[in-house]
Structure 1
Amino acid sequence: MEILLPDPEAQLAFGARLAACLHLPCVLYLEGDLGAGKTTLTRGMLHGLGHRGAVRSPTYTLIEPYELPTARVQHLDLYRLADPEELEYLGLRDLLGEDVLWVIEWPERGAGILPAADLRIGIAYAEPGRRLRLEPGSPRGQAVIASLSGTSA
């Protein structure tokens, strides 16, 4: 599934729409160049789930947890990860059993350690906006795409 979004506001709105289609647990991989809008999309999802505070990229902390009324979210930004084994030091294994939404930026840097993606979202520049490519990695991801496109899974 491909979606063209003309501006950051549309990306935020799509994030909120996407959040409404998710069922936990769910693992989302966000892929794209620096500045493509991975955190903007995450901000839209978090706001769609009821978060009202700031949403910053966890580039330096690597992981930012959110406890929301409707969901627990683990937002990871692995851009600065030098080795996937570093995820062990973050206690990732202890968090894997939790019933949460995983939003993982730069997932290729955690290859072999991260849980498999239910849905991969590639974000590319398509001036003036962005092009999103959604690819399911599981039946749960297929159901999200079906819900977004208005069809049954």
Structure 2
Amino acid sequence: MELQLADPEATAALGQRMAATRPPQAVVYLRGDLGAGKSTLARALLRALGVGGTIRSPTYTLVERYPLADGSEAWHLDLYRIADAGELEYLGLDADEVGLWLVEWAERGAGALPRADLVVELAVEGDGRRAHLVPASAVGAAWLGALHPRA
């Protein structure tokens, strides 16, 4: 699915739509250059899932954990600063309790992360962004179908 996002508000609206249709458990890889809107999308999605208070960027902490209303957690990871996937071993990432993974720079954690269900590729295009959503599993395909039902 290809979308044109005219401004940050459109990126946030995509995050809200993703929250409204998300499956109970999913892994999302957020790809794109610095400034492409990955954190904007993640914040909007988390906010729409009911996360209150400050939603911090995990740029320096590597992972931020947020409780969700269904009793699970959403984890937002930013792996830009890691040099080797082995470093993730020290973060205590236990996939069993996670309802939603939002992973920026997932390629840096290759082999140490759960496989993606949905890949969201963001790119700067003029004053806006282009979003390309690609399912990577049956869960991701169903999510994408719910996100963009065919008429």
| Counterpart position of 1:74 | 75
CA distance in structure 2 between the aligned counterparts of 1:124 and 1:146, rounded to whole angstroms: 22
CA distance in structure 2 between the aligned counterparts of 1:57 and 1:24, rounded to whole angstroms: 23
How far the C-alpha of 1:99 sits from its partner, in A, is 4.1
| Counterpart position of 1:151 | 150
* Larger deviation, residues 18-27 vs 111-120: 18-27
* Larger deviation, residues 66-75 vs 23-32: 66-75
* Larger deviation, residues 65-74 vs 109-118: 65-74
Give the AA of the match of 2:64: E
Identity %, equivalent residues:
53
**So what's the TM-score if we normalise by structure 2?**
0.95
| Counterpart position of 1:86 | 87
CA distance in structure 1 between the aligned counterparts of 2:79 and 2:113, rounded to whole angstroms: 11
| Counterpart position of 2:62 | 62
| Counterpart position of 1:28 | 28
Deviations 1:24-78 (A, max 9, x none): 2100000000011100000110111012322221011000000122452011000
Contact 2:31 2:121 in 1 (8 A): yes
Unaligned runs of 5+ in 2: none
Contact 1:122 1:132 in 2 (8 A): yes
How far the C-alpha of 1:131 sits from its partner, in A, is 0.5
| Counterpart position of 2:137 | 138
CA RMSD, aligned part only? 1.3
Contact 2:75 2:98 in 1 (8 A): no
**So what's the TM-score if we normalise by structure 1?**
0.93
Unaligned runs of 5+ in 1: none
**DSSP-derived class of the 1:100 partner:** strand
Contact 2:73 2:100 in 1 (8 A): yes
Contact 1:39 1:56 in 2 (8 A): no
How far the C-alpha of 1:80 sits from its partner, in A, is 0.2
**DSSP-derived class of the 2:20 partner:** helix
